[in-house]
Amino acid sequence: MPSLLLLPGDGIGPEVTAEVEALIETLRARHGLVLDVAVEAFGGASIDAHGVPLTDAAVARAKASSAVLMGAVGGPQWAGVARHLRPEAGLLRLRTEMGVFANLRPALCFAPLADASALKRHVVEGLDILFVRELTGGVYFGTPRGIEDLPDGSGQRGFDTQVYTTAEIERVARVAFTLARSRRNRVASLEKSNVMESGLLWRQVVSALHAREFADVALEHMYADNAAMQLVRAPQQFDVLLTDNLFGDVLSDLAAALTGSIGLLPSAALGVDGSPGLYEPIHGSAPDIAGKGIANPLAAILSFEMALRWSLGRADLADAVMAAVRHVLDSGLRTPDLGGTATTAQMGAAVRAAVG
């Protein structure tokens, strides 16, 4: 039986994943969804319960599932914990262990929300772009890294290593090109090949792969800093944006602001064909509103929509969930992040009602 591992995590994570669980119940009862659901502690919740942000048992369970859906990790309570035990370290370990190297982050501007964007309506109306961010390499994982004392006693030196191999670049670029073919057939590959060796290799490998296997897709190379400017100036020029781990982290947050609220954006992290995907709303744990029941559950619900599509073989139900979310937003219901007064529970209930 297909299985989903839920990792509610910290902050608003448990509140928004509770709405996903309720939606799964509805889909089981009325739409023939067959899905086994298990839950494990993650992040700070796991530190409190087990002393580590992710247990070996949770990792084993994640790898054995069809898909993993997480809420969010982190919070001020765990800010003082040693780096390798921090909630974020648990997330990085999970990504590595699952081998989910391609992070899909769609930024979609729903028509009734165009006025909630930081940009003018005409700039973002109808926006539909997709980041494909490399997720298990680059400066996040490169070695050597550390902070060391300078021999002359004048201070310290902090260092990280940005590193990419041909194979790492190729496999994520292949995902971007393949997805572009089912969209508007355009890829913008972002790097800093003007200053970074890894950026130069990135550009060369993407170009070679393009010439070899994807000449039908329109490819453009762009410096990442210019892409940041283009994203706020004229985001509609993009279709698929291919990035390394760090540029993708920064620019996908920027893209989130274009759509009105980070509370709306889902993501999928995929590995080799047939391996389980990792799905997460891209908002964080939002400690400032945690426990108040006002978090927007739509990013978590849309992350589950991506899981239905990419890991659970139920594109039909994914379409139904997407249609329900559109219907609810069209009806005017809004959580406070979008200027409304609806609670997390009201929003979740509305989506379930719209699914039918």
Q: How far is CA 332 from CA 321, 322, 340, in A?
A: 17, 16, 9
244 binds, among Mg ion, ligand IPM, none (CB under 5 to 8 A by kind): none
Cβ contact 215:183 at 8 Å:
no
Could you give the CA distance from residue 22 to residue 39 in angstroms, rounded to a whole number? 14
Q: Is 244 in the site for Mg ion (CB under 5 A)?
A: no
Q: Which of 36, 225, 316, 319 is catalytic?
A: 225
> Is 192 annotated as catalytic?
yes
Q: How far is the CB of 253 from Mg ion (least distance, A)?
A: 6
Give the number of residues in contact with ligand IPM, rule: CB under 6 A: 5
Specify the stretch interacting with ligand IPM by CB under 6 A; choose among 62-70, 86-94, 214-222, 270-278.
86-94
Q: Is 88 in the site for ligand IPM (CB under 6 A)?
A: yes
**Residues 298-316, buried b or exposed e (16+ Cβ, 10 A)?**
bbbbbbbbbbbbbbbebee
Q: How far is the CB of 91 from ligand IPM (least distance, A)?
A: 5
Q: In the structure encoding, which two tokens stand for residue 110, read together?
A: 């729903």
- The residue among 219 and 278 lying less far from Mg ion, judged by its C-beta, is 278
Residue 10: which of 83, 86, 100, 106 has the closest Cα? 86
- The residue among 231 and 342 lying less far from ligand IPM, judged by its C-beta, is 231
> Is 249 annotated as catalytic?
yes
Within 232-251, the residues that bind ligand IPM by CB under 6 A are 249
How many Cβ atoms from other residues are within 10 Å of residue 96's Cβ? 16
What order of strands is seen across the sheet that includes strand 277-279?
36-39, 3-9, 67-72, 277-279, 268-270, 102-108, 128-134, 240-243, 186-191, 218-223
Residue 349: which of 131, 7, 23 has the closest Cα? 23
Q: Is 220 in the site for ligand IPM (CB under 6 A)?
A: no
- Residue from 249, 280, 305, 337 touching Mg ion (CB under 5 A): that is 249
Three-class SS of residue 314? coil
Q: Which of 164, 192, 244, 279 is catalytic?
A: 192
Specify the stretch interacting with Mg ion by CB under 5 A; choose among 122-130, 138-146, 225-233, 247-255.
247-255
Instruction: Determine if residue 341 is left, alpha or beta; phi over 0 gives left, psi from -120 to 50 gives alpha, anything else beta.
Output: alpha
> Is 164 annotated as catalytic?
no
- Residue from 4, 27, 54, 91 touching ligand IPM (CB under 6 A): that is 91
Specify the stretch interacting with Mg ion by CB under 5 A; choose among 182-190, 217-225, 249-257, 323-331.
249-257
Could you give the CA distance from residue 145 to residue 162 in angstroms, rounded to a whole number? 10
Q: How far is the CB of 181 from Mg ion (least distance, A)?
A: 27
Could you give the CA distance from residue 105 to residue 277 in angstroms, rounded to a whole number? 13
**Residues 185-211, buried b or exposed e (16+ Cβ, 10 A)?**
ebbbbbbbbeeeebbebbbebbeebbe
Give the number of residues in contact with Mg ion, rule: CB under 5 A: 1
Residue 277: which of 14, 25, 67 has the closest Cα? 67
Specify the stretch interacting with Mg ion by CB under 5 A; choose among 30-38, 85-93, 182-190, 245-253.
245-253
- The residue among 249 and 337 lying less far from Mg ion, judged by its C-beta, is 249
Specify the stretch interacting with Mg ion by CB under 5 A; choose among 216-224, 225-233, 243-251, 313-321.
243-251
Residues annotated as catalytic (active site), given as ranges: 140, 192, 225, 249, 253
Contact footprint for ligand IPM (CB under 6 A): 88, 91-92, 249, 282
Contact positions vs Mg ion (CB under 5 A): 249
